[in-house]
A and B are shown apart, each in its own frame.
Chain A
């Protein structure tokens, strides 16, 4: 018995000693990966305040000279008519597509969550497919099809296209929220005299609202970041922010797009925090 205990203790000590080194290596490796994930996004922020039209830190910036830093690129995008029109287009297309996707997606999720739904797996597969189809294929197909209908180079065409690409996000998030919904609540409401619409409006919707809103945010973010469909189907009149950035990156590279990028990062963080907050609310 005594010998047994001794051996166990020795093994434990050696493994802990081994752990120490490996644990440091493991943590160091993870730190590098986190840096890889986040540093490229952070580096854009200071560079957008560059006083010079360069994409890198000037010596003045490193010495923290006040002159080397400026708001000129922010001023430029604020005053530029093309950027403000792009923002208006992005908002119009994004909001309309989101409303459409959220309403249709929520209804479909209600149906898909019902075990009685016929061909449930197949229907889910079809409805999620816009999310996994390579966007170049969607864009090419939509270009042919929408051109025939006279919807290419119109706002309506882009709204419909973006709504189609955004619906899977709504279906997924709302279905996930509905998985935690207690069907007895609907039954209870119905037993006390509420019609199906009232049950949905007064009982079910308030409870699944966090999922619906999250889905809407996902759909909006997808539209707000979509460039390939706009590239193929949109004309000059339909240029959105990502489309404008695309030309910015390809043609006349200027730090003005870094200033836009900072705005988009701020948007992304706001979306992220809202969705996480809703998720936590829903979990409670």
Chain B
């Protein structure tokens, strides 16, 4: 084995790749080669570090120097200054107003300080395309331990005791799920990995698959051993090309090393994994719809029972686990259930990955122990709201969840508390909204999404969500009437009760939760015909402040409907009857004279 005096880790996840990290890696290779240092310094392409809006990210070891927003053109300077002369390139270090400017090491940065990485442990640490690096992190050790030293029921017992619950949304205890499928007699059983990450704004599964694909394969094999399955399928979105590619490489390598296939570790246990691509249907995240899609059919759900544990893929007993759930399993086996159960709250053990996005400074992927407060997430890890704006709400659970308000900032986040607050854990999307976000518009946005993604099989979801969306459209376009709120609530309750699958059962949640916490915003739209956040176009009017207007005529010349008139050097006026509210005048005005009310 070769020894290197320095390792340069460069993120090759989707976020950083979109910002030319590939070219950066190439340039680093070239600069290192040019100086004949390729035997001393190794460049490694890793998975996602999570700090996506600071990308492309580079970490140089042994010092652990954290560089951010590195451009391909910076390669020469980093090699020359840091790797040859040993001086960190200061202008590329992470800088934050709250922290001292000389934050060099990754672990001292606020964004990483409060995190506890379990599922994401190897992301940003190893090269996901090299199985040896995974093995060097004790990879496949847990699988060996299971098949060589443990009985299947002992494996299930460990997972049960750890308290691990499904990370895909519903939070069903994983060990229980396995124990349902294990005793069923069948000639064939399956393990399916649900990697159809449909919640818009959540991307933790993608990061695990891109950054640590072997952990998922290892966990699937462990699940296969526990329930007596010999075949696994990963159902992954076609929208994640990098993840699919890394999975293919990982499966090939695992087969070559005899870690998938026949007679694994000479134990007589056989297990193999194949990939099935999803083709863009949100409903396929629902387990019975996912199974239908894996079989090559329309992804429509079916009533349960029978549950997949009894009759799943191709009618055989099947265990379906989410990517993040699986990523926890090898670590639980290796470190013991006591280690896992020691983290988190009474009923929610371990950690949870959240995708932090929206109106927040530090956008990215974070993993925190269950029980961390929303305040820590938003203000310490997330670095607060940009431009000093005021926090309004955070949406968890995506289109199936609800919003948390200022009053919820200090509750410990776990499955129970989020449900009690009228939201849900969901897959871990956490979208932060500030005072400029209109909650009625957000509810409409989510309902439009679920309406479009409703598969159409059951009428409450197909027709009910359509009627709700029409009412919301009516309200946001200024035609709302007082009975709309009651109608929305009645419809919502019916859809929740009568829909076939979780998509319909949860679709009304964003509406119900915004009505509960932000009723005054709905009322402002309905009674005052005003959008307090200034988002809903139909309820806005543009006006020119006569005191600020210099009469330059720029707005009038750019108005597409010639709604603005006036004399040069005198204040202009907007004819409200002609105005289409495109906002062009406001964009053009150099004096801030155009106001939106």
Q: Are chains A and B native binding partners rather than an unrelated pairing? A: no
Spell out A's residues near B (CB within 8 Å): none
